[in-house]
Amino acid sequence: MTSAALKPSRRAVLQAGVLAGGAMTLGLRAAGAKASVPGALSAFVIVRADGSVEITAHQPEIGQGVKTSFPMMIAEELDVDWSQVKVVQAPGNRAVYGAQIAGGSSATPTQFERMRRLGASARAMLIDAAAKGWSVPAGEITTASGRLYHKASNREASYGQFAEAAGGITPPKPESLKLKDPANFRILGKRVPGVDNRAVVTGQPLFGIDARPAGMVYAAYAKSPVFAGKLKSANKAAALAVPGVKAVIDIAERRDLKTEIDVALPGIEVLPQGIAVLANSTWAALKGRDALDAVWEGGDAAFQSTVAWDAAAAKALKDGPQKPGYINHGDAPAKLAAAAKHVKADYAYPFIAHAALEPMNCTAQVKDGKCELWLSTQTPEDARRMVALALGIKAEDVTLNLMRSGGGFGRRLMNDVAVEAAVIAKAAGVPVKLTWDRGQDFAHDWLRPGGWHRLEAGLDAAGNIIAWHDHFISYGRDGKLDPPAVIDASLFPSGVIRDYRADVTVLPLASTLGWLRAPINNAFGFVTQGFIDECAHAVGRDLVEYRRTLLGAPRAIPIAEEFSGETKADAQGTPYHTGRMRGVLDKAAAMAGWGRKVPARPGMRSGMGIAFHFSHLGYFANVVEASVAADGSVKVHKIWVAADIGRQVVNLSGAENQVQGSVIDALGAALGQRITFADGAVEQRNYGDYPLARMNEAPAVEVAFISTDFHTTGLGEPAYPSLAPALAGAIFAATGKRLRQLPFDTDLLKA
Amino acid sequence: MKLNINGKPTEVIADPDMPLLWALRDVLGMTGTKFGCGAGFCGACTVQLDGEPVRGCQTPVSAVGTAKITTIEGLSMSAWGRKLQDAWVALDVPQCGYCQAGQLLAAEALLRSTPKPTDADIDAAMSSNLCRCATYTRIRAAIKQAAAA
């Protein structure tokens, strides 16, 4: 995720109004938006006459917990009890709610203060209304648990009694509000179960795939498994003969769908050619699609092949880079020439897929020049604009029901399925639910790119790293690395190691790359931390002590022009703080008892590994204790995680859940996930050949949050990258085998 | 054909080959049972037939016969089901929540046969249900809490 892409693009202003029934609304609208907001859905806070409170959750809920954590921020400053609060989900509408993006772990850092001020603003208006009603100074009124108190005159009232009057009060300037001292927090930092938990465990329709508007038909979409392939033949009669199939519709390719979007990627403007099969059930639609027996040919990506790419990468490593000195900070060649010792290693990692459990789907209705969508998405505004462009209507005429996502991980930043569903629905003339099957979900993912790194470090006489050289190989178009495939010259150790050079080779690719949980970092963390282990090992140093020395004195490493270079827009590293890296490193080491003897386990070789990483504004370190059996299989016993996301954990329960899930997700990726191409298409078709971690592989995960005096930041991503290198370190400690490729080849670990 | 779903006789008009998953979701509108992989790998579509967890995507509706079907919508009819639901809520198990219906149906069958499961019992009973968010540590804790309730 590019940080530039996530900045709210419109200045927003606070406005309030009175709703029918004496409710006060406090919404947030873009400057210039109409003054009146019809209905409670466009408000963040509604206080009803009976004292109940409705808070709008406006961010896309993809499992990261924002539907709970954001209303908590408002409720804290509104000074109500959490039990008084009812949370309602907002539709996708940037003009009313401001930015609505689930990506880049950006929501909490960019909106924590804003949400708190929304709550504080509503509280101030209620206090003003009570002050007027009681003819007392506002400064003498206190609040607690949704009640107003004036101690001197012994008066009190519920918020509900002044809600209507408060609605007529001009909201205070957000910057004039005094926020609570965190020492007085009663909601933030506590363990608050997700607001949808009861609905989840009773099977209520929450997800995009659960939408069922009246008159809906089910659709499947046949399209080329090779990106932008063309239809050669299809047996429509056979599809129509499948019981339950109602119609087949040809859909033409579109390449003119480029629009102003939050998350820009090459290729997103394409609606692939295909045949929609409409039926009275998803099952019949998918059967009909299969009966088409569609044959495809050509395609921009027909040349793609993992075997050929591997050979091209090997050749580039042998022959030298296409772009020497792509990044050149200081004078790495001179430092390398003068170094006392050199360490060299080649690292590699594959494409991986998002594989969210809820397959890509969208329900759409197009009628009278307007469109209504029911969609699980991380970028609702993008979906509206893309669909509007595809249909030739205005974005304001696209209503988006923002549904809970059955997993995002970055896949639902892309709204290709919404465009397909809307175009099919327009042709069908009835509401359509389009569902991809699992094979399509893999075949048409926006993959985490694979990459290769040939690394060389120069060590001084004491064994410390003084120069770093990388030949980085990844994928791109027109000779340029694709945005998700760049080398990010701002990432650690760049900045700490001043003499840093990276050469680059670009392998051609034509299909879609995207952002996957802790993008770029999820691979670079493995490479960097693994190689630091190798340097420490080469000079017989302890892994923790060696890293402490490398980090040096606690200090902020600033964004420097020399560190920006070509990849400025994607810089996710600097500024970072070496003291915070050291803090999580030391904490994780202490939690796990780093340096202790690992217990012997019969028939197993056991060890511990440690790594840290900074990404998405969060600092994380892991210790992994693992064993390797004689057959090479890896068993992880326990993972310790130390986290520094600033001053305030918003929801301790949700935060811990994110961290535990992230490291086990990363464990699954390290042990088995790999997407390959043959004849232009993705070879993996289902979870059978793309294993995710399962219950029997999931170890205990102990998490500790360190509070530091920095802004509160997000948690969807930064816990992921440091797991794989810590696991590789544990395996090395156990077996003496250094694993330099993801996923780990456990055949190398046989006793 | 007639099915017994969550204790209620229910008439279903569907192709006999249609998997139970789709009969529930698309014919009957019971969307609590989830489509994940369509091939028996993920367990998102787990329902119970006469108390045994089965894959809804691999079970033709015609093969159900007179077996009693339990879905997530009927889980709270079981005492173990209610304990599990309460533990899931209290321990805040779900992240995205998409797999949890299947997880709960599998867990209920486990506790009915093994009221005090060991970690190995939980591994054996729960490892065929994927959680893409990897909430496994909490699923394990919630099963134990429900067992102790």
Q: Which residue in A218, A404, A661 is closest to B97 by CB distance? A: A404
Q: Which residues contact A463 (CB under 8 A, 6 or more apart)?
A: A341, A535, A536, A538, A539, A540, A541, A546
Does the beta-carbon distance from B136 to A406 stay under 8 Å?
A: no
Do the Cβ atoms of A629 and A732 come closer than 8 Å?
Answer: no
Q: Is A553 buried (19+), middle (13-18) or exposed (0-12) by CB count in 10 A?
A: exposed
- Give span(s): CATH 1.10.150.120, chain B: 76-148
pLDDT digits (tens, 9 = 90+) for A378-434: 999 999 999 999 999 999 999 999 999 999 999 999 999 999 999 999 999 999 999
Q: Searching chain A, which residue's CA lies closest to the CA of residue B37? A: A438
* Nearest by Cα to A102 from A60, A139, A39, A135: A60
Q: Are strands A141-144 and A85-89 parallel, antiparallel or unpaired?
A: unpaired
* Nearest by Cα to A411 from A359, A446, A387, A376: A446
What percent of chain A lies above the pLDDT cut of 90? 82
Bond from prior residue into A272 cis (ω within 30 degrees of 0): no
Q: What are phi and psi of A245, to 5 degrees?
A: -75, 130
Distance, in angstroms, between B66 CA and closest chain A CA?
Answer: 23
B56 touching chain A per CB within 8 A: no
User: Residue A40 — pLDDT band, cuts 50, 70, 90?
Assistant: very low
User: Residue A175 — pLDDT band, cuts 50, 70, 90?
Assistant: confident
Q: Please report where in the chains the tokens 């529930």 appear, as a residue.
A: B24
Does the beta-carbon distance from A194 to B126 stay under 8 Å?
A: no
Question: What are the CA-CA distances from residue A415 to residues A330, A385, A440, A513, A577 (Å)?
Answer: 42, 10, 15, 14, 36
Q: CA–CA separation, A55 vs A26, rounded Å? A: 10
Q: Which 3-state string (H, E, C) describes A366-389?
A: EECCEEEEEEECCCHHHHHHHHHH
pLDDT at A267: 55
Mean local confidence (pLDDT), A245-262: 88
pLDDT at B73: 98
Residues of A in contact with B44 (CB under 8 A): 357
pLDDT digits (tens, 9 = 90+) for A343-357: 999 999 999 999 999
Q: Are strands A141-144 and A398-403 parallel, antiparallel or unpaired?
A: unpaired
Given CATH 3.40.50.1440, say whether it is the number of domain B2-74.
no
Other Cβ atoms closer than 10 A to A3 = 15
pLDDT at A471: 98
Q: Is the pLDDT of residue A18 over 50?
A: no
Distance, in angstroms, between B2 CA and closest chain A CA?
Answer: 19
B69 touching chain A per CB within 8 A: no
Does the beta-carbon distance from B137 to A696 stay under 8 Å?
A: no
Single-letter amino acid code for the residue at A737: K
Q: Please report where in the chains the tokens 């779903």 appear, as a residue.
A: B5
Q: Is the pLDDT of residue A11 over 70?
A: no
Q: CA–CA separation, B146 vs B149, rounded Å? A: 5
* Nearest by Cα to A54 from A101, A107, A122: A122
Do the Cβ atoms of A506 and A321 come closer than 8 Å?
Answer: no
Q: Is the pLDDT of residue A104 over 90?
A: no
Mean local confidence (pLDDT), B98-106: 98
Q: CA–CA separation, A715 vs A646, rounded Å? A: 11
User: Residue A256 — pLDDT band, cuts 50, 70, 90?
Assistant: confident
Q: CA–CA separation, A66 vs A651, rounded Å? A: 10
pLDDT at A264: 63
The pair of three-digit structure tokens given for residue A483, joined into one six-digit string: 């945005």
* Three-point CA angle A400, A403, A408, nearest 5°: 110
Q: How many CB pairs under 8 A join A and B?
A: 190
- Cross-strand pairs, A346: A454
Q: What is the mean pLDDT of chain A?
A: 91
Q: Is the pLDDT of residue A571 over 80?
A: no
* Nearest by Cα to B134 from A17, A673, A554, A5: A673
Residues of B in contact with A661 (CB under 8 A): 95, 133-135
B14 touching chain A per CB within 8 A: yes
Does the beta-carbon distance from A665 to B132 stay under 8 Å?
A: yes
Does the beta-carbon distance from B33 to A698 stay under 8 Å?
A: no
Does the beta-carbon distance from A197 to B88 stay under 8 Å?
A: yes
B26 touching chain A per CB within 8 A: yes
pLDDT at A266: 56
Q: What 3-state class would DSSP assign to A299?
A: coil
Distance, in angstroms, between A64 CA and closest chain B CA?
Answer: 6
What percent of chain A lies above the pLDDT cut of 70? 91
Q: Is the pLDDT of residue A565 over 50?
A: no
Q: Which residue in A202, A283, A668 is closest to B19 by CB distance? A: A283
Q: Is the pLDDT of residue A280 over 70?
A: yes
Q: Which residue in A191, A654, A701 is closest to B137 by CB distance? A: A701
User: Residue A43 — pLDDT band, cuts 50, 70, 90?
Assistant: low
- Give span(s): CATH 3.10.20.30, chain B: 2-74
pLDDT at A257: 85
Q: Is the pLDDT of residue A19 over 50?
A: no
Do the Cβ atoms of A242 and A314 come closer than 8 Å?
Answer: no
pLDDT at A575: 85
Q: Searching chain A, which residue's CA lies closest to the CA of residue B94? A: A197
Look at A174-178, A559-563, B92-96 and tell me which has the smallest mean pLDDT: A559-563
Mean local confidence (pLDDT), A86-96: 91
| DSSP code string of A376-435 | E-S-HHHHHHHHHHHHTS-GGGEEEEEEBPS--TTGGG--HHHHHHHHHHHHHSS-EEEE
Q: What 3-state class would DSSP assign to B77?
A: helix
pTM of the model: 0.94
Q: Does the predicted interface ipTM exceed a cut of 0.90?
A: yes
Q: CA–CA separation, A548 vs A181, rounded Å? A: 34
Instruction: Give chain A's domains with CATH numbers.
Output: 4-200 (3.30.365.10), 208-299+360-435 (3.30.365.10), 308-352+447-749 (3.30.365.10)
Q: CA–CA separation, A348 vs A335, rounded Å? A: 25
Torsion from C-alpha of A125, A129, A134, A137, nearest 10 degrees: 40
Question: What are the CA-CA distances from residue A185 to residues A145, A599, A709, A724 (Å)?
Answer: 12, 42, 17, 36
Residues of B in contact with A282 (CB under 8 A): 22, 25-26, 35
Do the Cβ atoms of A280 and B29 come closer than 8 Å?
Answer: no
User: Residue A105 — pLDDT band, cuts 50, 70, 90?
Assistant: confident
* Nearest by Cα to A116 from A192, A185, A31: A185
Q: Is the pLDDT of residue A568 over 60?
A: no
Single-letter amino acid code for the residue at B13: I
Q: Is the pLDDT of residue A39 over 90?
A: no
Which comes out higher in pLDDT, residue A139 or A262?
Answer: A139
B99 touching chain A per CB within 8 A: yes
Residues of B in contact with A411 (CB under 8 A): none
pLDDT at B19: 98
pLDDT digits (tens, 9 = 90+) for A510-539: 999 999 999 999 999 999 999 999 999 999
pLDDT at A20: 36
Q: Which residue in A193, A280, A687 is closest to B89 by CB distance? A: A193
Does the beta-carbon distance from B129 to A695 stay under 8 Å?
A: yes
Look at A103-112, A129-138, B51-60 and tell me which has the smallest mean pLDDT: A103-112
pLDDT at A562: 53
B148 touching chain A per CB within 8 A: no
Q: Which residue in A65, A406, A696 is closest to B127 by CB distance? A: A696
pLDDT digits (tens, 9 = 90+) for A689-732: 999 999 999 999 999 999 999 999 999 999 999 999 999 999 99
Residues of B in contact with A209 (CB under 8 A): 31, 34-35
Task: Select the residue from B76, B88, B100, B137 to test the A interface by mutation, using most A Cβ atoms within 10 A.
Answer: B137
Q: What is the mean pLDDT of chain B?
A: 98
Q: Which residue in B33, B72, B98 is closest to A406 by CB distance? A: B98
User: Residue A95 — pLDDT band, cuts 50, 70, 90?
Assistant: confident
User: Residue A23 — pLDDT band, cuts 50, 70, 90?
Assistant: very low
Q: Which CATH class is domain B76-148?
A: mainly alpha
Bond from prior residue into A483 cis (ω within 30 degrees of 0): no
The pair of three-digit structure tokens given for residue A345, joined into one six-digit string: 């290693």
Does the beta-carbon distance from A660 to B134 stay under 8 Å?
A: yes
Q: What 3-state class would DSSP assign to A53?
A: strand
Burial string for B47-69 (b: 16+ CB within 10 Å, else e) reads bbbeeebbbbbebebeebeebeb
Distance, in angstroms, between A359 CA and closest chain B CA?
Answer: 6
Torsion from C-alpha of A482, A357, A387, A102, nearest 10 degrees: -70
User: Residue A198 — pLDDT band, cuts 50, 70, 90?
Assistant: very high
Does the beta-carbon distance from B32 to A202 stay under 8 Å?
A: yes
Look at A304-313, A569-578, A638-647 and tell me which has the smallest mean pLDDT: A569-578
Do the Cβ atoms of A730 and A626 come closer than 8 Å?
Answer: yes
